[in-house]
Structure 1
Amino acid sequence: MRRNLVTAAITLALCGAASLASAQTPAEISRAANPPAVRATTQLPHGVKPSHYAIEVTPHADKMAFDGKVKISLDVLEPTPTIVLQAVNMSFANSVLTGASGKKLVPKVSVDAENQTATFAFAAPLAAGSYVLATDYTGVINTQANGLFAIDYDTDAGKQRALYTQFENSDARKFVPSWDEPNFKATFDLTVNAPAAQMAVSNMPVVESKDIGNGLKRVVFQTSPKMSTYLLFLGLGEFDRATDSVDGTEVGVVTPKGKVGQAAGALEASKLVLKEYNDYFGVKYPLPKLDNIAAPGRSQFFSAMENWGAIFTFEYALLVDPKISTIGNVQGIFSIAAHEIAHQWFGDLVTMSWWDDLWLNEGFATWMAARTTAKFHPEWKTELGAVGGREGAMSRDAVATTHPVVQKIETVEQASQAFDAITYSKGGAVIRMLENYVGEDAWREGVRAYMRTHAYGNTVSDDLWSAVQTAAGKPILDIAHDFTLQPGVPLITVDSATCANGNTTLQFTQGEFTKDRPGKTPLRWRVPVVAQAVGGARVDTVVEGGKGSLVVPGCGAVVVNAGQGGYYRTLYGAEQFAAISKGFATLSTMDQLGIMNDTWALGMGGLRSASDYLDLAKNVPADADPAIWSDIAGSLSGLDGYYDGDAKRQAKFRKFALSVLRPAFARIGWNAKADDSAPVQLLRTQLIGTLAGLDDEAVIAEARRRFAAGPDDANAMPPALRNTITGIVAYNADAATWDKLHAMAKAEKTPLIKDSLYSMLSIAKDKALAQRALELALTDEPGATNSAGMIGAVSGSHPDMAFDFALAHREQVDKLVDSTSQARYYPGIGGGSSDKAMIGKLRAYADKYIAPSSRNATETAIANIEYRLKVRETRIPAIDAWLQKHGG
C-alpha cells in the first residue's frame, strides 16, 4: 500500500511518473488491434563489426528533423551479401561501400521498421576485409527523451528550445545508423552544424569551431575512445558552462543560460567524486574532460544518464534553486554525481557484453554512490539508506513476477524493462554483502584488477567474480551465483537461541520469503549470516543446505544480520523477538531499521502478526534517530492506506497514528533551528506531509496559512518547506485554490518551479480537480515533458481514474511518453489501484497492446494489487484487534 500519501504525492509531482517505477523502461510496443506476436531477438549478426564512426549532423530544430552523414569503418569477418545495422525513423540516400582497394559498391537499402534494422544488400557477397560504408540519412527530433530530442522552456527573454540526446538502452539507432548494441564498441568522430549563437557539447572537447554561413557554425569534437553507441552524446542550445580541474581532467557543469550560478554544488561534488574514484579504481579517468549537462524538463523513468564525459541530468536533480531547494536536493545532487561518475568506469570504460548483465553497471553504481556519499558526508547518515534500498528490492523480489539479477534479455522491450529495483537495489545490496564477506581491501583489489584487465572491453558477471575471488583468496563464486542467477529472497529462521557459558548458540533454517506464494518450495542459497549479541562481537557463518548454526559471544538479545549487510529476511521466534523488543533502544540505528523492516514485511506477509510492528513503534521515544521516525511515519501512512473507503475504521487508526507521530513532530516543529542536522531537516518535511495525509487539521491549517502569506515571505515559506506546503495545499485544494495554483503555474518563468507547479495541480484528492488536471495534461500548456508526469501524479490518489483516462486517450498519451517506456507507463498508472476490476483492465490492455514477452511490468502491477487486497482482507484485522486492545 502507498506509504506517506501526501509526501509521496509531492515526490511524484516533483519527479514525474519516474516515481512509479525505477529508472528507464520499456521500448516500442505494438499497437495492432489484435494481440501482438512475440518479438524476435533484435541482436545483430556478428559477421560484420564497426571500428569507427565519422558522423556529421545538421539539426533543423524548427522542423523537428535533422540531416546526417556517416562514414563507418568496418570489418567483414566472413563473406556476406548484406550489411545489417540498426536504424529507426530514417531514410537513406547516396549509400556507398568502399573497399581497401578503393573500389566502390552501391548497395540496395531496405528498412525493417519492426526489427529496427536497415539492410545494405550487394549484388555479390562481400569478401572478408576492411571497408568504409558511407551514407546520407535523415532523422526525426523527438519530443520525449529518446534519440535526439527537443526541450522547450520559458525564460525571461521568451521561449527557448534546446536539443539533447538520450540513447540508453537502444536509441542511438534514432540518431545514427549503427551497430547499436553494447558489445559493438567503436571510436567516434562527431561534427555538428549548429546555430552560431549556441553551445554544442559532446563526449569530447571541441577541436574546431568555425562559421560556415547562414548563421551556422561547424563544431568538430575530438575523437572519442572506444565505447558503446549508447554512451554517445550531443547537446545544443543557449548554455553557460562552469569549469574547474581535477588530476588533469577538466570538470564542467553546463546549464541553460543564466543558471550557472546554481551549479556550484554539482561542480564541487563532481570534483570530489572524480578524485576519489581515480584512487579507488586504480585506473585514472581516461578522457580529457567530464561535463555534467543540466536540462529543463523531465522523463517519466530516469533523471540522469552516464554518457562518457558528458553526463546528462535533468536540472531538478542537478541544480540548486535557492527558492525551493532543500537539504534533500543537495544530498540528491551529490548522490547522483557519485552514481553517474561511477559509471564512467563501471559501464563506460568496462561495459557489460549484453543487457543480461546490466546490473554490472547499475548495481555497482548504486553501491558505489552510497559508499561514497556516506564517506564524504557522514553528517547526512546516508548509510542508513542501505536498509531502505534493500527493502525496495526485497519487496519487488518477493512476488512471482520477479527475475534474477542476471536475466535473459532478447528484445529491446525486455532490455528497457531491466532497469528496475532488482537491477539497481538488489544488485547494490548483493555487492555490499559480498564486500562484507571478503573484506573492503580484497574487494577493492579485485575491482582494480577487473578494471585493468577489461578496460575498453566488454564483460560478463563471472569476470568480476573471478577477479574478486583471486584478490580475496576466498571462494565467492557459488554465493555470487546463488544471489544473481536465481530470483527471490532467502528467509533465515532462528529456530533456537541457547545461552551457555557466556555464549549463545543459534540454530537456523533457511527458507524463502514470498509475499504471494505461501506454499512455495523454497530455493536454496548459500547465505553469509552475521550475528551479534548486544554489546558483543560480530561473528559470521555461511548457512548452506538449508540448515546452519553459529555460536555468538554473549547472551541476551541477539541480532541476526547484524549491521544489515546481508540480503535476507530474519524470522525470530516469540522469545527471541521479545528479547529484541525489550532491548530495542540499545541496538544500533542500522539494526533497529533492519528489524523494523523485517517485522513490517513478515507481518504483512503473514509470518508474524501484522501488529508486531505497532508494538515496536509504540515504544520508540520521541528523541529516537530521525531515520527510525521516518520509517514509522512511512509505515503508519502505509497502513492508513489500507483503510481507504472505510471511514470509521480509518478514523480509529488515525487517532492512534497521530498520537504516535505528534510528539515526534512537536519536538522538531515547523521552524528550522540553527543546529538542525540534515536528517532532522528531512524528517520535518516528511512528518508535516504524513500528518497532513492523516488529516491532521492543525497541520493542514498551518500549511494553508503559510501558503497564503506568499512565496516571498521567507518566514512562512522557507525554501526547505515551500514544496511541502504547496503540496499539502494542492492535495487539499478546492476549486478556487486550484485555480490560483494554475494561474501561478502559467505566470511562472523559472522552468524548475513552473514544472513543479503543473505537477502539483495533479495531486488534488478532489476527483473533479483531478479530472481537470488530466484534461490539462493533454493540452500544449504544461509542456511536452510534463504531461505524462501529470497523469502519473494523478494516479497517486486516483489510479483507476488516471488509468481509464489514459487508456481512453491512448493515442494522445502515447505521444507524451518516452517511446521506450509505454509498456511500463500504463501498468504503473493502474498498479496503485485497490480495485479488483483493475486486474482485468490491465490484462486486457496487455493482451491488446504489449508483446507477450514484454509484460513483466503488467504482471508485477497485477501481483501487487492482489497482494494489497490480500493484506486488507487477512492482515488488517490484526491491526484492528491490536487497536482495540490498546484503547485505540
Structure 2
Amino acid sequence: MRRSLVSAIALALAGLSITAVAQSPAATAAVQATTQLPRNVRPTHYDVAFVPHAETLSFDGKVTIAVDVLKPTTRIVLNAVDMKFASVQLTPASGNATYAAAPQVSVDAAAQTATFTFAQPVPVGSYKLSMDYTGKISTQANGLFAIDYDTKAGKQRALFTQFEAPDARRFIPSWDEPAYKATFTLEATVPSAQMAISNMPVADTSDLGNGSKRVRFAASPKMSTYLLFFSAGDFDRATAKMGDIEVGVATQKGLVDQARFALDSSVDVLRDYNDYFGVDYPLPKLDNIASPGGSQFFSAMENWGAILTFEHTLLMNPTISTPSDKQRVFGVAAHEIAHQWFGNLVTMQWWDDLWLNEGFATWMAGRTTEKMHPEWNTGLSAVGARDFAMSLDAVATTHPVVQRVQTVEQVSQAFDAITYQKGSAVIRMLEGYVGADAWRDGVRSYMKKHAYSNTVSDDLWREIQAAAGKPVLDIAHDFTLQQGVPLIRVAASGCVDGKTALALTQGEFTKDRPEKKSLSWRVPVIASVVGSNTDARTLVDGGSGTLEVPGCGPVVVNAGQTGYYRTLYAPAQFAEVRNGFAKLSSIDQLGILNDAWALGMTGQQPASDYLDLASATPIDADPQIWGDIAGAFSSLDAYYAGDAARRAKFRKFAIARLAPVFAKIGWTAKPGEADPVAILRSDLIGTLGSLGDAEVIAEARRRYAAQATDPTAMPADLRRTILGVVALNADKATWDQLHADAVAEKTQLVKDMLYSLLSIAKDKALAQRALELALTDEPGATNSASMISTVAGQHPELAFDFAVAHRAQVDKKVDTSSLSRYYPGLGSNSLEPAMVGKIKAYADAHIAAGSRRPAETAIANVQYRIKVRNERLPAISAWLDKNGG
C-alpha cells in the first residue's frame, strides 16, 4: 500500500467483523437489532457518584439506575468490567419500601457482565437499582484512565474517560449498548484545586473542607452510554459564544492559547452545522478537552458536549506545529462536531451501522473544510482517502460498509477505513448523484424524525430518496451491503458530430483474486472531455453501458472523482489522457494517478504507466499532486529493499524528478506562501531524506547542529521534518543526543514527538534500542506501543518478533480496543514470506476465531507486497533502464 492523501481523521487500521453478505431490503428490515443483553429490563436514568483515587488507580462508585422491568424476571443482567460490588438493591421507583430485594451477584469476566439474581420474580414495573462498587483506573485510554505528563513545574496526573465502543462498563455497571439510551447525572469528588469537566455544565459545587470538593453536573439529554464523559486535572479553560451556546477548550495549565485556533474553528463549524442539519445543537455548552499522550485506537472522541482530543491533534505548539497540523486540528474538530448530530443526537441501533456515525462525520468534515478553507484545496484529500479505502476493499478480507458485529472485539475492529473512508466516499458519490440540496434536505428530515433515538442505514436512505425523488435505495444497497470495488473499463469509438462515444463495461477491481467472478453494482458515472466545462452522466447498470460525451479529445471518466470505482482505460485512451495530463484539473490528475498505481501494481495495466504520468506532471502542478508522487516514490523505494543496485537506479530517477520541484520552493518559506506549498516543502524534504539525497541529508544535519546558535536553522514548521531526516539517518552519537533531548524536554507534546523520532532509525541496532526503551517507563505509558509500531515502519520483522517475544509487557502498553489488530499490524508491511506464517501462528494462538480479520488483512498485505516485488518491479526496472533512470 502506498502513502496517499488520506484525510487527517482517517483511522488507518484494518478492522474485522464477521463477514456480512448482501441482503435484500426486506431481509435487512427483518433483522432485529443485535444485543448482548436480555431485553427484559431497560434503563431510563443513571445517577452516578464516584470518588477517584488517582494515586492508587482505583475509584469508589455509587449508582442508582431508574429501570423499567418489561417482563417478570428473576435476573437482571448488565455490563460490568473489573468491578467489585459491595451492595446491590432493587426498590420500587415510587419509593414504597414494601418491596426491596438484595440479589445475589455473579460476575462473568469473559462476557463482561454482572448478573443480579432475585429469590422471587421481579414484577413488571419501574424500579431503582442501586449499587455500591469499586473499579480500576487504567493507564491506557479505556474506561476511566490516568495520564501522567511532564511540565516545567514537574510531573502531573490528569483523569479522562474513553468509553467508545464498549468501555462505559469499566466505569458504571450499565446497559452498555447504543440502543439503551438514558439520561445521566454525574457527581464527582475531586481535589479542590482541580477542574472537573463532563458533558453538561456544573450545576453545583460543595467544598468538603478536606482539600477536596464535590462537583455535580446538570442532567444530560437522552444518550448512549459510550457518550458519557468525565475529566479532572490541573486545567485552563477558554470560552467563546455561538448564540446561546458556550464553546470551550480545556488544556493543561499554561497551554490554552495553543487551543485558540481549535476554539475559533469550533465556533464557526457549530454555526455552519446548525444551519446544515436544520436542528440546533441542543446542549448548553460544547467543550474540547486536550489530553497529553495518545492511543493506538483513536485521536479524538465525540462525547456529547465534551469532545476529548489528544494534544497532538488539538494544540498548535509554536515550536513544532505546521500548516499540516493546522489542517488536522480543523478537520478533526469538524469531524467530532458533526458527531454531535450524526452519532449523538441520532445514534446507530447497533455497531453494524457504525458507518452512519463515522462515514458521515468523515464526509461532513471534508465538506466543511473545503467550504471554510478553500485556500487549502482539501478536496484532493477526499480522493486520497477514497484510494486508501479501495486498497483495503480490494482484498478477500474486506467487509461491507454495513457489517455484522457480534462480539466486543469485533466492535473495536469495525473502526476501519471501510467504515470511515469508504462510508464517506459513498456519501460523496450519492450526494453528487442526487444533488447537494436534495441530499441536505434528506439529512434534515432524517435528523428531525429520529432525534434522541436509534436508526439503521435504511432510515437515512428513505429520507434521501424522498427528498431527491430519485431511486437511491438500490444504489446505496449495492455499495453498502456488499463489499468490493467496481471497475469501469473504458473504450472510445471516436468523435462524431462533436461527441465522443464511450463503451463502458463494469467489472470488479481486486488485488488478490484475478479470477474472481465480478459482483455487480449500479454505478453512477460522470465523464468529460479534457478542457471541457460540460460533462455527461449515466448509471452503468447490468454490467455495461454507453455514454456520449460532449466534445472531442481525451476523455476523463469519473470526472471530478466523486465515484467509488476504479477506471481502466483501453491503451489508446490512456495514451491520450497521459499526453493531455498537464491540462487536467488537479483532482482528476490525482484520481488518474491513483488508478494507474493501483491497476499497475495488480498487473491490469503496465506498472510503468505511473512513472509515465509522474514524468508528465508539470513542476507547477498542485502541491498535493507532488506530495502524492513523493509518497509513491517512497513506497517503490521500500519495495527495492535488499536490491542495492536497482534501488540506487530508482533513487537516482526519483531524486532527479523531485529535486527541481524542491528547488523551486526551497528551504525557506516565502511571504504570503500558501499552506499547501509549505506542506509540500516538508513532504519533499522528508522524502528526499529517505531516498538518500546527500544534499538534503547534509543540510538537515547542518541545521540540527546549528539550532543552539542560529534561531532560524529550524523554523517551527520544519522542525519535525528536519529532526525526522536526522533521526532516520542517525548514527549512534546522533541517536544518543536525540534521546538526551527527549529526556530533558519538559513540554509533553514535544517530548512525545522526540520519543517517536527515536523509533524511525534505519540502523537496525538503533531500532533495537528504541524497542527496548519502549518497554521502560521512561517514554510514558501511552507512547510505548506507538514507538514499537513506528519501528515496524522500517523494520517490520524486528518489531513483530520483539513484541511477540515480550507480549506480557507489551499487552499492558496497548489499549484493549487495539489488541487484536496491534500485533498483526506490526508485520503487515513485511516483504518476507515467513511473516505470513508468523502472523497466522500469533492469531491462532491469541485471537478469537471470529476476530481474526486484522490478522488476515495483514497476511493479505504481506502476500500482495511480495507479489508486487516479484512481478511488478521488473517492469519498473525495465522502464528505468529505457528512460535513463
TM-score range, shorter-chain basis? over 0.9
The reply to whether residue 247 of structure 1 matches residue 240 of structure 2 is no
Provide the residue aligned with 2:653 in structure 1.
656
Provide the residue aligned with 2:372 in structure 1.
376
Residue type of the alignment partner of 1:486: Q
Choose from 82, 105, 108 the match for 2:75.
82
- Aligned to 1:152, what secondary structure does the other structure show? strand
Deviation at 1:505, TM superposition (A): 1.2
- Aligned to 1:542, what secondary structure does the other structure show? strand
Deviation at 1:411, TM superposition (A): 0.5
Choose from 562, 567, 575 the match for 1:565.
562
The reply to whether residue 693 of structure 1 matches residue 686 of structure 2 is no
1:42, 1:412 within 8 Å by CA — same for their partners in 2?
Answer: no
Choose from 470, 476, 491 the match for 2:466.
470
Q: Unmatched 5+ residue regions in structure 2? A: 19-33
Q: Unmatched 5+ residue regions in structure 1? A: 28-40
Choose from 257, 273, 279 the match for 1:277.
273
Provide the residue aligned with 1:293 in structure 2.
289
Deviation at 1:406, TM superposition (A): 0.2
Choose from 539, 543, 561 the match for 2:540.
543
- Aligned to 2:367, what secondary structure does the other structure show? helix
Deviation at 1:583, TM superposition (A): 1.2
Q: How does 1:276-355 map to 2 (within 5 A)?
A: 276-355=272-351
Deviation at 1:3, TM superposition (A): 4.3
Provide the residue aligned with 1:786 in structure 2.
783
Provide the residue aligned with 2:66 in structure 1.
73
Residue 724 to residue 417, structure 1, CA distance change in 2 (3 Å): same
1:169, 1:415 within 8 Å by CA — same for their partners in 2?
Answer: yes
The reply to whether residue 492 of structure 1 matches residue 483 of structure 2 is no
The reply to whether residue 501 of structure 1 matches residue 502 of structure 2 is no
Deviation at 1:625, TM superposition (A): 1.3
Deviation at 1:713, TM superposition (A): 3.4
Deviation at 1:213, TM superposition (A): 2.8
Choose from 515, 519, 522 the match for 2:515.
519
1:529, 1:542 within 8 Å by CA — same for their partners in 2?
Answer: yes
1:711, 1:717 within 8 Å by CA — same for their partners in 2?
Answer: no
- Aligned to 2:196, what secondary structure does the other structure show? strand
Provide the residue aligned with 1:596 in structure 2.
593
Q: List per-residue Cα deviations over 1:786-823 (Å, max 9, x = no partner).
A: 11111111111011101111111100000000012110
In 2, Cα distance between the equivalents of 1:299 and 1:23?
16
Q: List per-residue Cα deviations over 1:667-715 (Å, max 9, x = no partner).
A: 0011111131111000000000100111000100000000001267331
In 1, Cα distance between the equivalents of 2:455 and 2:422?
20
Provide the residue aligned with 1:127 in structure 2.
123
- Aligned to 2:816, what secondary structure does the other structure show? coil
1:25, 1:820 within 8 Å by CA — same for their partners in 2?
Answer: no
Deviation at 1:526, TM superposition (A): 0.2
- Aligned to 1:53, what secondary structure does the other structure show? strand
Deviation at 1:2, TM superposition (A): 5.3
Provide the residue aligned with 1:645 in structure 2.
642
Q: List per-residue Cα deviations over 1:349-384 (Å, max 9, x = no partner).
A: 000000000000000000000000010000000111
In 1, Cα distance between the equivalents of 2:855 and 2:688?
32
In 1, Cα distance between the equivalents of 2:634 and 2:194?
48
- Aligned to 2:78, what secondary structure does the other structure show? strand
Residue 19 to residue 740, structure 1, CA distance change in 2 (3 Å): farther
Provide the residue aligned with 1:181 in structure 2.
177
- Aligned to 1:541, what secondary structure does the other structure show? strand
In 1, Cα distance between the equivalents of 2:16 and 2:552?
49
Provide the residue aligned with 2:667 in structure 1.
670
Q: How does 1:601-640 map to 2 (within 5 A)?
A: 601-640=598-637
The reply to whether residue 200 of structure 1 matches residue 193 of structure 2 is no
Choose from 405, 408, 415 the match for 2:401.
405
In 2, Cα distance between the equivalents of 1:25 and 1:346?
23
Question: Which is bigger in relative contact order (C-alpha 8 A, separation at least 6)?
Answer: 1
Q: List per-residue Cα deviations over 1:303-338 (Å, max 9, x = no partner).
A: 000000000000110011100111111111111110
Choose from 42, 49, 68 the match for 2:42.
49
Deviation at 1:534, TM superposition (A): 2.0
Residue type of the alignment partner of 1:372: T
- Aligned to 1:631, what secondary structure does the other structure show? helix
2:252, 2:290 within 8 Å by CA — same for their partners in 1?
Answer: yes
1:497, 1:576 within 8 Å by CA — same for their partners in 2?
Answer: no
Deviation at 1:876, TM superposition (A): 0.8
The reply to whether residue 256 of structure 1 matches residue 249 of structure 2 is no
In 2, Cα distance between the equivalents of 1:24 and 1:259?
35
Residue type of the alignment partner of 1:170: P
The reply to whether residue 846 of structure 1 matches residue 835 of structure 2 is no
Residue 179 to residue 852, structure 1, CA distance change in 2 (3 Å): same
Provide the residue aligned with 1:64 in structure 2.
57
Provide the residue aligned with 1:865 in structure 2.
862
The reply to whether residue 762 of structure 1 matches residue 759 of structure 2 is yes
Residue 483 to residue 808, structure 1, CA distance change in 2 (3 Å): same
Deviation at 1:532, TM superposition (A): 0.6
In 2, Cα distance between the equivalents of 1:388 and 1:864?
19
Residue type of the alignment partner of 2:181: K
2:10, 2:385 within 8 Å by CA — same for their partners in 1?
Answer: no
Deviation at 1:212, TM superposition (A): 1.4
Relative to structure 2, which stretch is displaced further, 117-126 or 495-504? 495-504
Q: List per-residue Cα deviations over 1:432-473 (Å, max 9, x = no partner).
A: 000000000000000000000000000000000000100111
2:297, 2:817 within 8 Å by CA — same for their partners in 1?
Answer: no
Provide the residue aligned with 2:21 in structure 1.
none
Aligned sequence identity (%): 66
Q: List per-residue Cα deviations over 1:741-792 (Å, max 9, x = no partner).
A: 1111111000000111111111111111111111111111111011111111
Residue type of the alignment partner of 2:495: C
Deviation at 1:735, TM superposition (A): 0.8
Q: How many residues align?
A: 866
In 2, Cα distance between the equivalents of 1:211 and 1:572?
72
The reply to whether residue 454 of structure 1 matches residue 450 of structure 2 is yes
1:3, 1:641 within 8 Å by CA — same for their partners in 2?
Answer: no
Provide the residue aligned with 1:31 in structure 2.
none
- Aligned to 1:404, what secondary structure does the other structure show? coil
Residue type of the alignment partner of 2:645: K
Deviation at 1:535, TM superposition (A): 3.2
**TM-score using structure 1 length:** 0.96
- Aligned to 1:644, what secondary structure does the other structure show? coil
2:760, 2:793 within 8 Å by CA — same for their partners in 1?
Answer: yes
In 1, Cα distance between the equivalents of 2:327 and 2:224?
30
Provide the residue aligned with 1:32 in structure 2.
none
Q: List per-residue Cα deviations over 1:510-565 (Å, max 9, x = no partner).
A: 00000000000000000000011123311111001101111111111111000000
Provide the residue aligned with 2:30 in structure 1.
none
Provide the residue aligned with 1:720 in structure 2.
717
In 1, Cα distance between the equivalents of 2:820 and 2:448?
39
In 2, Cα distance between the equivalents of 1:832 and 1:200?
43
Deviation at 1:623, TM superposition (A): 1.4
In 2, Cα distance between the equivalents of 1:81 and 1:549?
65
Residue 701 to residue 675, structure 1, CA distance change in 2 (3 Å): same
Provide the residue aligned with 2:579 in structure 1.
582
1:152, 1:160 within 8 Å by CA — same for their partners in 2?
Answer: yes
Deviation at 1:627, TM superposition (A): 1.5
Provide the residue aligned with 1:431 in structure 2.
427
Deviation at 1:639, TM superposition (A): 1.0
In 2, Cα distance between the equivalents of 1:713 and 1:802?
37
The alignment yields a C-alpha RMSD, in angstroms, of 1.6
The reply to whether residue 22 of structure 1 matches residue 18 of structure 2 is no
Choose from 869, 873, 877 the match for 1:876.
873
Q: List per-residue Cα deviations over 1:845-879 (Å, max 9, x = no partner).
A: 00100001000000000000000000111111111
